[in-house]
Amino acid sequence: MGVSLNQPSTLEQILITTKVEKVMNWSRATSVWPVTFGLACCAIEMMAAGASRFDFDRFGAGIFRATPRQADLMIIAGTVTYKMAPVIKTLYDQMPEPKWVIAMGSCATAGGPFDSYHTIQGVDKIIPVDVFIPGCPPRPESLIYGFMKLQDKIMTSSLADRYKDIFEEVG
């Protein structure tokens, strides 16, 4: 009756092949579980990014976790004091591997306007940071852009290299 069904003629037209590591990186990048760690006004912008207007959930990270044991991304949003530093380090250590950190805002990245005895001049002095987002406070679009950069980093990362670094520290 004029209807033709195009049947694939070769195996290459039927199968999709890829590396297991690429599939794992894709699944990690599209299902990130962030833990909330809002310390100042940047937390308001982080909450706005999770609301319906900006819809952080469309990137696979909409449900903020309340405990680090269920999260693989920590977003530090705000001023970090010396009194808060051991708490941040403890929470970071409780996160399962692989784990990532975003420093959001001028205070988290470089201390902001608070150059005093009680303020740490960048959270990277306590824990390793993967993405820095500048601004005071940065807009929700900036957080989304930074998160997309983190997804790119996750997609191109090698799990073997990450664990090699861990074993060298222990070792």
42 annotated ligand binder? yes
| DSSP code at position 161 | H
125 annotated ligand binder? no
Helix (H, G, I), strand (E, B) or coil at 82: coil
Exposed, middle or buried: residue 71 (CB in 10 Å: 0-12, 13-18, 19+)?
Answer: buried
Report whether 43 contacts 165 (CB < 8 A). no
Helix or strand run (H / E) with residue 44: helix 42-50
41 annotated ligand binder? yes
Query: Rounded to an integer, what distance in angstroms lies between the CA atom of residue 164 and that of residue 102?
Result: 22
Annotated binding-site positions for [4Fe-4S] cluster: 41-42, 107, 136
Annotated binding-site positions: 41-42, 107, 136
